[in-house]
């Protein structure tokens, strides 16, 4: 796609940000790279060769306004989103341009829906938080699985990761979330986010073949507990994580992801399965692919492309499933993601 106005990537030097920049360039978008470290931005720009550099910091609204001036949209890849999401979305609304982020932080996403909905609706500007592996992909799968259903009795999202080598950004965001919750855990039950001190427990989940039966941590709560209930009438949303991945994340010695192919992806694989139930009927959908950080890039950039070409279902703050035709969006992620949807 040739664009007269560029897409700004805030947090472009981070692990996920670099994947997003690469995907934008692959699709022919003019791209502006932004963030707080001007030297790193310039170094990467010299490597990329065809991007514009506009440094900005979240504590300087003027710098954000300059970074977004004349842009077509902004993708926020800079965590922790508890710190960055508010200032960047406010700058996007001042500029009158769409905002997309890749936040996995539950409270940051909840705040986006609670605190920015009125302003985004008044500006008639699309704002899509959690447009990423966590939050966005599960929401799209749930929405596609539901089909004509408008409500469900329960939604379950199971993450079958063969491992999880977290980035420094993931670690920082996790610490921020832990502090915000004062060490408590969170679930979505009886139609609301509820904080508790219950200990986690394990159970088995039978993923689609060839993954099969795996031990998972039950109520390993991810951003789907915000995105799904934002547009689906459902009293309970539960998410699950394979034990191996949960242990990797908990271990401070687990190294960062290492690239093993020409696209810079790690050797991590995943399958995500959702189960929605209503009136005693279950529907399932699943997606499989490689590298949870790398796959966030086509998710976020596909969202930007659809927004800029008018393929949206609403405006204001909305999750992926509410903003887009979920089944069509998922099919467009090929070859990065293989999906199985109800017939």
141 lies in the same domain as 288: yes
* Residue 156 in tokens: 């379950």
Report, as an integer, the average pLDDT of 152-170.
Answer: 97
How far apart, in whole angstroms, are the C-alpha atoms of residue 86 and residue 127? 12
Provide the CATH number for the domain around residue 17.
3.40.50.720
Residue whose C-alpha is closest to residue 101's, from 336, 327, 320, 332: 320
Q: Specify the number of domains making up the chain.
A: 2
Chain center to CA of 3:
24
Mean pLDDT over the full length of the chain: 96
In a domain, 16, yes or no: yes
140 lies in the same domain as 168: yes
Residue 1 has pLDDT above 80, yes or no: no
Report, as an integer, the average pLDDT of 90-113.
Answer: 98
216 lies in the same domain as 77: no
* Contact criterion met (CB below 8 Å) for 51 and 43: no
In a domain, 48, yes or no: yes
306 lies in the same domain as 235: no
In a domain, 83, yes or no: yes
* Contact criterion met (CB below 8 Å) for 186 and 106: yes
Phi, psi dihedrals of residue 149, rounded to the nearest 5° = -65, 140
149 lies in the same domain as 245: yes
102 lies in the same domain as 173: no
Residue 2 has pLDDT above 60, yes or no: no
Provide the CATH number for the domain around residue 223.
3.30.360.10
Please identify which residue in the block is written with the tokens 């969170």: 186
pTM beyond 0.85: the answer is yes
Report, as an integer, the average pLDDT of 60-75.
Answer: 98
113 lies in the same domain as 137: no
55 lies in the same domain as 150: no
pLDDT tier, 210 (very low <50, low <70, confident <90, very high otherwise): confident
322 lies in the same domain as 248: no
99 lies in the same domain as 87: yes
pLDDT tier, 209 (very low <50, low <70, confident <90, very high otherwise): confident
57 lies in the same domain as 186: no
> What does the pLDDT read at residue 196?
96
* Residue 252 in tokens: 């401070």
Element (H, E) at 73: strand 73-76
How buried is 50 (Cβ within 10 angstroms: 0-12 exposed, 13-18 middle, 19+ buried)?
Answer: exposed
Residue 25 has pLDDT above 60, yes or no: yes
At residue 71, the 3 state secondary structure works out as coil
In a domain, 1, yes or no: no
- pLDDT tens-digit readout, 47-67: 999 999 999 999 999 999 999
How far apart, in whole angstroms, are the C-alpha atoms of residue 240 and residue 219? 6
**DSSP for 86-103?**
HHHHHHHHHHT--EEE--
> What does the pLDDT read at residue 3?
44
Residue 37 has pLDDT above 60, yes or no: yes
In a domain, 21, yes or no: yes
259: domain range?
133-292+331-340
**DSSP for 289-334?**
EE-TTTTHHHHHHHHHHHHHTT--S--SB--HHHHS-HHHHHHHTT
Residue 115 has pLDDT above 50, yes or no: yes
- pLDDT tens-digit readout, 283-300: 999 999 999 999 999 999
How far apart, in whole angstroms, are the C-alpha atoms of residue 119 and residue 204? 43
191 lies in the same domain as 336: yes
More confident residue, 210 or 103: 103
How far apart, in whole angstroms, are the C-alpha atoms of residue 181 and residue 328? 37
* Contact criterion met (CB below 8 Å) for 162 and 290: no
> What does the pLDDT read at residue 4?
64
In a domain, 2, yes or no: no
């Amino acid at each position: 796609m040739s664009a007269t106005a560029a897409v700004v990537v805030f947090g472009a030097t981070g692990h996920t940000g670099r994947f997003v920049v690469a995907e934008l360039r692959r699709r022919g978008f003019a791209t502006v790279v932004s963030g707080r470290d001007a030297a790193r931005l310039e170094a990467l720009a010299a490597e990329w060769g065809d991007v514009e550099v506009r440094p900005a910091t979240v504590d300087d609204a003027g710098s954000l306004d300059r970074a977004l001036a004349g842009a077509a949209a902004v993708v926020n890849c800079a965590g922790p989103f508890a710190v960055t999401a508010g200032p960047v979305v406010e700058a996007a609304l001042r500029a009158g341009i769409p905002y997309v982020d890749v936040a996995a932080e539950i409270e940051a996403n909840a705040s986006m829906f609670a605190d920015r909905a009125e302003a985004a609706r008044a500006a008639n500007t699309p704002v899509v938080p959690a447009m990423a592996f966590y939050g966005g992909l599960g929401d799209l799968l749930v929405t596609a699985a539901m089909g004509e259903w408008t409500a469900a009795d329960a939604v379950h999202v199971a993450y079958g990761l063969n491992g999880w080598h977290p980035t420094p950004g993931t670690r920082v965001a996790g610490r921020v979330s832990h502090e915000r919750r004062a060490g408590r855990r969170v679930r979505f039950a009886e139609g609301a986010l509820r904080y508790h001190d219950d200990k986690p427990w394990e159970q088995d989940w039978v993923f689609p073949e060839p993954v099969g039966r795996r031990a998972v941590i039950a109520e390993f709560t991810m951003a789907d507990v915000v995105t799904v209930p934002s547009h689906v009438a459902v009293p309970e949303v539960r998410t699950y994580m394979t034990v191996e991945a949960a242990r990797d994340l908990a271990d401070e010695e687990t190294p960062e992801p290492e690239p093993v192919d020409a696209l810079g992806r790690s050797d991590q694989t995943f399958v995500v399965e959702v189960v929605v139930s209503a009136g005693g009927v279950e529907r399932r959908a699943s997606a499989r692919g490689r590298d949870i950080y790398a796959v966030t890039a086509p998710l976020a950039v596909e969202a930007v492309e659809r927004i800029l070409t008018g393929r949206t279902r609403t405006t204001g703050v909305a999750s992926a499933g509410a903003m887009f035709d979920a089944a069509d969006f998922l099919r467009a992620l090929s070859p990065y993601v293989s999906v199985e949807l109800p017939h």
